[in-house]
Amino acid sequence: MKKLELVFVPFPAMGHLVSIVEFGRVLVGRDDRFSVTLLIMKGPILHPEITNYIHSISAACFSGSIRFVHLPQLDGRDSSNSNPSSSSPTVFLHNIMERQKLLVRDAVRQLMIRSETGRLTGIVIDSFCSSIMDVGDELGVPSYVFVTSSAASLALMFHLQTLHDHHGVVLTEFADSDTELVVPGFVNSVPARVLPALWVDKEGGWGSIAFLEEARRARQAKGILVNTVLELESHVIDSFVDGTTPPVYTEGPLLNSNHGDHQKVIRWLDDQPPSSVLFLCFGSIGEFNEDQVKDIAIALENSRYPFLWSLRRPPPKGMMAGSSDYTDFKQVLPQEFLDRTSKIGKIIGWTSQVTVLAHPAIGGFVSYWWMKFYIKEYMVRCPNSDMANVCITTIECISISERVRNTDRDQIRLQ
C-alpha cells in the first residue's frame, strides 16, 4: 500500500526533538497510512543525549514507518562551533540554518526521487527552523509549523509581531517598560518588562528580528501544530479565528519519559515527603553564568525549601555549543553551599523532566518562561498534585530570586 510520506525537520535540541518524534510515533501508531522521515541536523548544539535518544528510538520497532536521515556535516566556517565575535548567537544560528536549508532541500529531493513506498504530502518544520519553509515552497510541498511550546507563547509572538509590523511599535522599547500588554487569548495583561530579553535586545536587536521573522513565516504555513491540549488552553486556541493565522491544531501532550538513567534521582526523591521538593530545570540548552548560578543558590538556601536542581554548564565564552554537565559543582556554587544544603537539597546534571515531575515528592517547578515545561508539569502531575501549592511555591522562589538581583548577596545570606 502506498503511504503518505511526511518529512519532519526538528531543531537539534532535546526538548524540540522529543516532542516532534513523539508526534510522529503517535501519528503512525494511529494511522498506518502514514510514514515519517526525520531529517537530523549536525551542528554545534547537538547534545550527546540527542544521539542516545535517536539510537533508542531507532532500535524500537515501527515496521519501517519512522526513519532517521542524518544530514551531512556543514563544511567551511559555518560547521565550526566557534562563534565569531562580530556576530551574536542569534545571527550565528541564523547563518547555520540558512546553510542547513540547502542540505534539507537536497535530502527532500532525494526522497521524492527514490520514494517507492509513498508520496510526499507535507513537511513539518520546527518553528525555530521556519526559514526552511522555503524548501517546501520551492518543491511545491505544503509546509506545517510545529510549535514545541504552548499556544499562549504562540499568541504572544503573533501579537508582538502585529504591534511591530502594523502599528509601528519598536519592541526594544519594551525593555524595562511599565507597559501592560493586552494579548488576544490571554485572561490577564502581560507586563512588558517580563518579556524575554532576547526579544527586546537593544544591542543590535537581532533577537527581536529573528522571532519576528519566525512569526511572519508561521502565518504563511499550511497549518500550525502545537504541543498543547485544547482543554488546557481553549481560551487561547479560540483566539486564533481572526483569519490572520493558518489553522492551529493541538497535538499534545507529547511526552517521553523513557530516555536516560534516573535511578539515583528517583531514590533520593523517594526519601522526601510528598509535595515537598522544588524542582529547578531549564531544559537541554538552559544555562547560567557564575553570578546567576550564585544568585539562584542563595535564593534556594534562604527559601529553606527542599530542592532538586538540574544545573548545566554553559559552553566556553565565544563558543556556540550546547550546555554540558559539570564535573565538580563546587567550581560554580557559593563556598560550602553543598555542605550547608546537603540535608535539604540535591544538585544534578541532565535529567528527564517528565520522570522527575511525575514523582509525588515534587511540589513546585521553576523553569524558564517558555511554557512547554509547564504543560509537561500539568499533564504529569494533574492526577495527584495540588496545583495551587505548585504555583505558590514557584512564585515564592522567584520572588526571592528577584530580591537577590537587587540586593547585595552577602546581606541576603545573613538575613
What residues are labeled active site? Answer: 16, 126
Q: Which of 68, 57, 63 is CA-nearest to residue 111?
A: 68
Cα–Cα distance between 50 and 234 in angstroms, integer?
32
Say which DSSP state 82 is in.
B
The answer to whether 129 and 108 are in contact (CB under 8 A) is no
Cα–Cα distance between 192 and 176 in angstroms, integer?
7
Say which DSSP state 64 is in.
T
Q: Which of 354, 321, 371, 353 is CA-nearest to residue 147?
A: 371
Q: Which residues contact 224 (CB under 8 A, 6 or more apart)?
A: 144, 145, 146, 147, 154, 218, 245, 246, 247, 248, 249
CA-based radius of gyration for the chain: 22
Say which DSSP state 70 is in.
E
The answer to whether 227 and 151 are in contact (CB under 8 A) is no
How far is Cα of residue 228 from the mean position of the Cα atoms in its chain? 13
Q: Which residues contact 336 (CB under 8 A, 6 or more apart)?
A: none
The answer to whether 259 and 49 are in contact (CB under 8 A) is yes
The answer to whether 95 and 78 are in contact (CB under 8 A) is yes
Nine-digit cell at 9? 525537520
Cell 516532534, located at residue: 20
Cα–Cα distance between 8 and 54 in angstroms, integer?
14
The answer to whether 65 and 118 are in contact (CB under 8 A) is no
Burial class (CB in 10 A: 0-12, 13-18, 19+), 60: exposed
- Cα-based torsion angle of the residue sequence 195, 148, 282, 361 in order, rounded to the nearest 10 degrees: 120
